[in-house]
Structure 1
Amino acid sequence: MPETMPVTSTVLPVLPPLGVQAERLIELGVHVIAGLPAAELRAFAEAAAAGEGAAAGAGALLAVHPDRAPASALAPLLYRDGKPGFVVTDMPDVDLFTPLETVALPDTPLYLLTALDRGDQMANWSPDEALPALTARARTPLVLTEGIHWVVQQPAVLERNHCFMTIGSRLRKSNGALDARTPAIWISNGTGRDGRERRNAPKVGWCWAGNRHTWLGFASAEGRRV
């Protein structure tokens, strides 16, 4: 296992205010995907921003529960260099990846994630190595849809050589064992089945749970709240 490192990443671009995030989701039609009135997103964001303490909502990410807005519907809303995001062809079951038992999502359509971190210092760790290290620091790994929401709101968080995995989502097989694939979000090189036209597009894919990649960190949050 790699040497233990602090979880704090390099300084990342600041997220927009929650009201701006709500408008971004409405502009992209996420409220329609989720079956929610636009007014509900706006009201949630306003209440969260005005909630407990002056700093409530500052730096937080507004997320729609994956039961309402699955990864397959959100991935095409990502854009980079004018190119939409996509899910790799060998991940047709992307929406069957659900939160680990240790990852508790609020039982509400909308919620917040606080103190996001891309996990750059854990690059070249495997998911199997990273998960217990995050847990030991009371950090919660992002699920795939949360990672997509992050890039939707702040595209600059996805950089070449500094992309990230979302190991809070896993697929459980019929026998109860975890599928060895772990979801990630990175930037396509336009090779292979991606196609040259997708070069530089945001890409939702997967990596093996036991493999290391120098260009993938492990996205996590301090917590989730409504």
Structure 2
Amino acid sequence: MTADAAAQTARLVELGAPALAGLTDAAFADLVPDAPAGGGVLVVSPSLVPAADLAPLMVLDGRPGFVVEDMTDLAEFVPIEGELVPDTPLYWITDLERGDEMANWSPAQALPAIRERGRVPLTVSEGISWLLQEPERLERNQCFMTIASRKPKARGGLDSRTPALWISNGTGRDGRERKGAPKVGWCWANNRHTWLGFASAAARTMG
């Protein structure tokens, strides 16, 4: 195992990811592919740990992450058409960007722009995995959407929500005790937000 892979595996073990996957620490480590040249971020696939279970492992200033109460169907948000996501428990994403320059864009604008640059938009599990390793990437007024995850409708088309990761203000159903906590929420797919960019990576890889 490469040094980068070992360090990120240790971080996930420390946070408790193996237990959520029903694995021993050693069995979890055995699933980790070597990091790609130049490094990256190790992604915990939803096939190993669902995004809703992974979210509470995010920690910002001592506050654990959470999923908003009106997103009980997070597991139904899957990779959009055209996104090739490895069918493995763990994989890597490389050269991540928060997409701050796209703040106040709509997802409909951001997706083609990301693809035109030869990059891939992040799924919600990839976004969470990034913040597990680098929680400081989430900053107030500089957060991001994960537009590679959408929920298909039974009769065709897509649900109008897009998952996003930001910092709770502790208002409404979030609860005051969650102020400052990292949060998995959603935005309407055609809306713009000055404080949300669009996270992307150069590639997904098995190392």
**TM, length-normalised to structure 1:** 0.85
1:30 aligned partner, one-letter code:
A
1:223 matches 2:203:
yes
What is the rounded CA distance, in whole Å, between the counterparts of 1:27 and 1:82 in structure 2?
Answer: 14
Secondary structure (helix, strand or coil) at the match of 2:34 reads: helix
Match of 2:26? 39
User: Are the equivalent residues in 1 in contact too, given 2:57–2:132 (CA < 8 A)?
Assistant: yes
Residues 1:157 and 2:137 aligned together: yes
Cα distance, 1:80 vs structure 2: 1.3
Check 1:19–1:95 CA distance in 2 against 1; reply closer, same or farther (3 A cut): same
Residue by residue, what CA displacement relative to the aligned partner does 1:16-54 show, whole Å, maximum 9, x if unpaired?
A: 932111011112221232244433443455x514xxxxx
2:90 match: 110
Q: Distance in 2 between matches of 1:191 and 1:128?
A: 28
- What is the correspondence of 1:1-226 to structure 2 with a 5 Å cutoff? 17-43=4-30, 45=32, 48-49=34-35, 56-226=36-206
Aligned equivalents of 1:203 and 1:143: distance in 2? 15
Distance 2:48 2:5 in 1: 19
The amino acid that maps onto 1:182 is T
Shift of 1:192: 1.1
- Measure the CA separation in 2 of the matches of 1:111 and 1:174: 29
Distance (Å, rounded) in 2 between the aligned partners of 1:57 and 1:193:
43
Instruction: Give the secondary structure class of the aligned counterpart of 1:48.
Output: coil
Q: What secondary structure does 1:32 align onto? A: helix
Contact 1:17 1:58 in 2 (8 A): no
Structure 2, unaligned runs of 5 or more: none
Q: Could you say which residue in structure 2 is the equivalent of 1:53?
A: none
**Cα distance in 2 between the residues matched to 1:172 and 1:160:** 30
The AA in structure 2 aligned to 1:67 is: S
Quick check: 1:18–1:57 contact (8 Å CA) kept in 2?
A: no
Return the letter of the residue paired with 1:161: N
Partner amino acid for 2:137?
V
Which whole-Å deviations, capped at 9, do the CAs of 1:147-204 have from their partners, x for residues lacking one? 0010010010000111000000000111111001000000001111111111101010
Sequence identity of aligned pairs in percent? 58
Structure 1 letter corresponding to 2:12: L
Query: How far apart are the structure 2 equivalents of 1:199 and 1:129?
Result: 31
Q: Which moved more, 1:56-65 or 1:189-198?
A: 56-65
Residues 180 and 208, structure 1, Cα contact 8 Å, conserved in 2:
yes
Question: How many residues are treated as equivalent by the alignment?
Answer: 204
Compute the TM-score of the two structures, normalised by the length of structure 2: 0.93
Confirm or deny: 8 A CA contact 1:166 1:184 kept in the other structure. Answer: yes
Match of 1:13 in 2: none
